[in-house]
Structure 1
Amino acid sequence: MAKNDTSLPLVGGIAAAIGAGLCCAGPLVLLLLGVSGSWIGNLTVLEPYRPIFILLVLVLFSFAGWKVYRPIEECEPGTACAMPQVRKRRQIIFWVTAFIALILVTSNYWIIWFA
Structure 2
Amino acid sequence: MDQTDDIADASSSRSKVRRQHTGWLAGGSLLAALGVTSCCVLPLALVLAGVSGAWIGTLTALEPYKPIFAVIAIGLIGLGFWQVYGRRTKCDDRQGGRTVSSLTVKLALWTSTLLVALALTAGVWAPLFY
TM-score by length of 1: 0.72
For 2:86, the aligned partner's letter is: R
For 2:65, the aligned partner's letter is: Y
Superposition map of 1:53-64 within 5 A: 53-64=69-80
Q: Does 1:101 align with 2:116?
A: yes
User: What is the aligned-residue RMSD (CA, Å)?
Assistant: 2.9
Deviation, 1:55, is: 0.3
Deviation, 1:57, is: 0.8
Q: Secondary structure at the match of 1:72?
A: coil
- Report the structure, 1 or 2, having the larger helix content: 2
Contact 1:21 1:104 in 2 (8 A): yes
Deviation, 1:60, is: 0.2
Contact 1:13 1:101 in 2 (8 A): no
Unmatched tracts of structure 2, length 5 or more: 1-11
Post-superposition CA distance 1:51-77 (Å, at most 9, x none)? 00000011101111111123423x6x3
Residues 21 and 95 of structure 1, relative CA distance in 2, 3 Å threshold: closer
Q: Does 1:110 align with 2:125?
A: yes
Contact 1:9 1:64 in 2 (8 A): yes
Deviation, 1:85, is: 4.4
**Bigger radius of gyration:** 2
Q: Which residue of 1 aligns with 2:65?
A: 49
Deviation, 1:110, is: 1.9
For 1:47, the aligned partner's letter is: E
Q: Does 1:69 align with 2:85?
A: yes
